[in-house]
Amino acid sequence: MKIIVGGGISGLWLAAELKARNIPCCVIEKNALGQGQTLASQGMIHGGTKYALDGSLTKAASEIGAMPARWKQALQGEGTVDLRHVQLEREDQLLWSVESIAAKLLGFFASKAMRSRMKRINPQSEAAFNHPNFKGHLYRLSEPVLKLDTLVHAFAEILDGQIFQTEVTQLLMQNNKVVGVETNTGKIHGDVILTAGEGAEALLSELPGEYPVMQRRPLAMAVCKLVQPIPKVFGHQLGHGSKPKLTVSTHEFDGAQYLYLGGQLAEDGVTQDDGTVCSNAKRALSEALCWLEPNVESTHVFRINRAEPSTREGNRPDTAFVCQSNNLIVAWPTKLALAPALADQILPLLGGDSKPTTLPQWSKAPEGHYPWV
Ligand X SMILES: Cc1cc2nc3c(=O)[nH]c(=O)nc-3n(C[C@H](O)[C@H](O)[C@H](O)COP(=O)(O)OP(=O)(O)OC[C@H]3O[C@@H](n4cnc5c(N)ncnc54)[C@H](O)[C@@H]3O)c2cc1C
Q: Would you say 299 and 321 are in contact if contact means Cβ atoms under 8 Å apart?
A: no
Q: Which residues pair with 304 in a beta bridge?
A: 219
Residue 68 is a binding residue for ligand X (CB under 6 A): no
Asked if 48 touches ligand X (CB under 6 A), the answer is: no
Taking CB under 6 A as the rule, does residue 4 contact ligand X?
Answer: no
Tell which one of 3, 18, 26, 42 touches ligand X (CB under 6 A): 42
Write the DSSP string, 168-231: EEEEEEETTEEEEEEESS-EEESEEEE--GGGHHHHHHTSSS--PPEEEEEEEEEEEEESS---
Please tell me whether residue 337 binds ligand X under the rule CB under 6 A: yes
The only residue of 14, 16, 40, 81 in contact with ligand X, by rule CB under 6 A: 40
Residue ranges in 286-315 that form contacts with ligand X under rule CB under 6 A: 304, 306
Q: Tell me if 259 contacts ligand X by CB under 6 A.
A: no
Q: Which of 16-24, 30-38, 79-87, 225-233 is the region at the interface with ligand X (rule: CB under 6 A)?
A: 30-38
Does position 109 bind ligand X by CB under 6 A?
A: no
CB of 321 to ligand X, least distance (A): 10
Q: How many residues does the chain have?
A: 373
Q: How many residues bind ligand X (CB under 6 A)?
A: 39
Please state the closest distance from residue 199 (CB atom) to ligand X, in A.
2
> Which segment (151-159, 192-200, 207-215, 320-328) binds ligand X by CB under 6 A?
192-200
Residue 46 makes contact with ligand X by CB under 6 A: yes
Terminus-to-terminus CA distance in the chain, angstroms? 37
Q: Judged by CB, which is closer to ligand X: 89, or 126?
A: 89
Would you count residue 97 as binding ligand X (CB under 6 A)? no
Does 251 bind ligand X (CB under 6 A)? Our answer is no
3-state secondary structure (DSSP) of residue 71 = helix
In whole angstroms, the minimum distance from the beta carbon of 326 to ligand X comes to 18
DSSP 367: B
Does residue number 190 form part of the binding site for ligand X (CB under 6 A)?
no
Distance CA 161, CA 364 (A): 7
Which amino acid makes up residue 214? M
Determine if residue 71 is left, alpha or beta; phi over 0 gives left, psi from -120 to 50 gives alpha, anything else beta: alpha
Assign 368 to helix, strand or coil: coil
Shortest distance, CB of residue 247 to ligand X, whole angstroms? 7
Q: In this structure, are strands 145-146 and 296-309 parallel, antiparallel, or unpaired?
A: unpaired
The answer to whether 266 touches 303, Cβ cutoff 8 Å, is: no
Q: What is the CA radius of gyration of the chain?
A: 21
Under the criterion CB under 6 A, does residue 31 sit at the interface with ligand X?
yes
Q: What is the footprint of ligand X within residues 196-235 (CB under 6 A)?
A: 196-197, 199, 203, 219, 221
CA atoms within 13 A on the CB side of 223: 18
In whole angstroms, the minimum distance from the beta carbon of 123 to ligand X comes to: 24
The Cα 68–Cα 82 span in angstroms is: 15
Judged by CB under 6 A, which of 195, 237, 257, 345 binds ligand X? 195
317 interacts with ligand X by CB under 6 A: no
Stretch binding ligand X (CB under 6 A), from 39-47, 86-94, 318-326, 355-363? 39-47
Per-residue CA distances from 47 to 71, 145, 180 (Å): 11, 12, 36
Would you state the torsion angle of the CA atoms of residues 306, 312, 317, 319, taken in this order, to the nearest 10 degrees? -140
Q: Does 8 bind ligand X (CB under 6 A)?
A: yes
Residues found near ligand X in the complex (CB under 6 A): 5-11, 28-31, 35-38, 40-44, 46, 167-168, 195-197, 199, 203, 219, 221, 262, 304, 306, 332-337
